[in-house]
Amino acid sequence: MNELLCQAEGKTLEFKRDLSSPKPLLKTLVAFANTAGGRLVVGVADDRQVLGVANVLDEEERLCSLIADAITPRLVPNVEMITIEDKTLLVVEVFPSGSRPHWLKAEGPEHGVYVRLGSTSRQADAALIGELRRTAEGVAFDELPMPELSLDDLDLATAKKLFHGISPLDDQALRTLKLITSYQGRTVPTKGAVLLFGKDRNLHFSDAWVQCGRFLGTDKTHIFDHIDIHEPLPLALDSIMLFLKKHAMRGADFSQIRRQDVWSIPLTLLREAVINALVHTDYSQRGAPIRISFFDDRIEIENPGILLPGMTVEDMRQGVSKIRNHVLARVFKELNLIEQWGSGVRRIYSEAHALGLPEPQITELGLRVRLVVRLAEPLPVNALPLTRAEQVTEQVTEQVTRLLVCLKGEPLSTKAAMQQLGLSHRPTFIQTYLQPALQAGLIEMTQPQSPKSPTQKYRLKP
């Protein structure tokens, strides 16, 4: 118990002086039950001074009555009396509940549901209440049907191209992967199928995209480059990694027989972190996309959704894993983007240790989870080698400047460059971005003898 008193308040621990204000205490117990469980210690001041509980037997009975009368569905915690320094404390231990969501009866099931975020208890909105209910029932959000849609709303050509050489994506495979399901006698796509391969994914899931930014310095005051990625989620992975590479430095290791590229950022670790964000985002939430922020000293990967009920950050560090999106995880596994179930976070930590990097930090911020990866050495934007194109960007338009930044990593096709720039109108790209850059002699074709070649790409001119 003395060790407990030395711990800071957090997701699974809170201290209360007494029972004089029961509502905050009851909110905490509801939040514990709905999230990862926890212990509430009554009789301890904010400065950890042990005050004890007067008339402890009466207060225990009062507390149990409060819990029984104020919380629904019925919550039955473990209440114990602990003696420290000749003073008696009440310790209320709540376990993650299979009857969630619990709520305060006086506030009702729409407004009285709370979850634990860090050391605070926060009111859950409708989307989060739905998530709590689904996880209690063992139902994944991405397995739910979308009865208003049909198979024509899926980009099956892209899906089959991704699965080419892995397995045929026939009707049986689509059902096994739960990309399609039966609903009232009809075959309809699941939410997971639309998230992965929906033709109008953003229409149905407005925040199912990725925002990448490279910032000057160590905060978000000034942005140097950004890209909005709206590709199917399995393809988005490569676009995200390409963006990170574009703003990293690459060296060479000649100690082996063959030359090996050495990057200034931990690519293997970051790839695992990006996959983890894509697969574990709570796509039922609305408000913001997945965000990748590249600073001089760190890279932050932030995705919507709190940790699943029963999970804590410490659990993640120890390799404990729960899958939020079963369809997405299964497809990523079949595409060999996930090596084995539940290994992602453990690999992130082990890779950081192997590279001698500070341990990655995982925190819950509001209804989002943020993973922070510290770089071995600061990488200010002005430390990146300047090309001729970058040296003359002040003489050209903002659109051309953005194209030059995109091409800093490697040659890109017209389609790939448009995707990086977040453009969908080809004539605008050609007239405003591509042609001015070619005419200024800032970029060149990789196949100048075949200007209209379908495999034509563009690169920065030396």
Q: How crowded is residue 91: how many other Cβ atoms within 10 Å of its Cβ?
A: 17
**What is the reported pLDDT for 386?**
46
Distance CA 37, CA 149 (A): 39
Range list of β-strands (E), 207-309: 210-216, 222-229, 250-253, 260-263, 290-294, 298-304
The single residue listed with the structure tokens 């049909």 is 150
**Cβ contact 323:329 at 8 Å:** yes
Q: Is 21 exposed, middle or buried (0-12, 13-18, 19+ CB in 10 A)?
A: exposed
Instruction: For residue 278, give the nearest of 337, 336, 227, 334 by alpha carbon.
Output: 337
**Cβ contact 247:155 at 8 Å:** no
Instruction: For residue 225, give the nearest of 242, 240, 212, 241 by alpha carbon.
Output: 212
Distance CA 245, CA 253 (A): 17
**Cβ contact 229:419 at 8 Å:** yes
**What is the reported pLDDT for 401?**
76
Distance CA 35, CA 39 (A): 12
Q: Is the previous residue joined to 73 through a cis bond, with omega within 30 degrees of 0?
A: yes
**Cβ contact 389:460 at 8 Å:** yes
If you compute the radius of gyration of the chain from its CA atoms, what whole number of angstroms results?
26
**What is the reported pLDDT for 390?**
44
**What is the reported pLDDT for 319?**
76
For residue 425, the one-letter residue type is H
**What is the reported pLDDT for 260?**
56
What is the model's pTM? 0.76
**What is the reported pLDDT for 395?**
44
Segments in the chain below pLDDT 70: 1, 250-262, 340-343, 382-398
**What is the reported pLDDT for 17?**
94
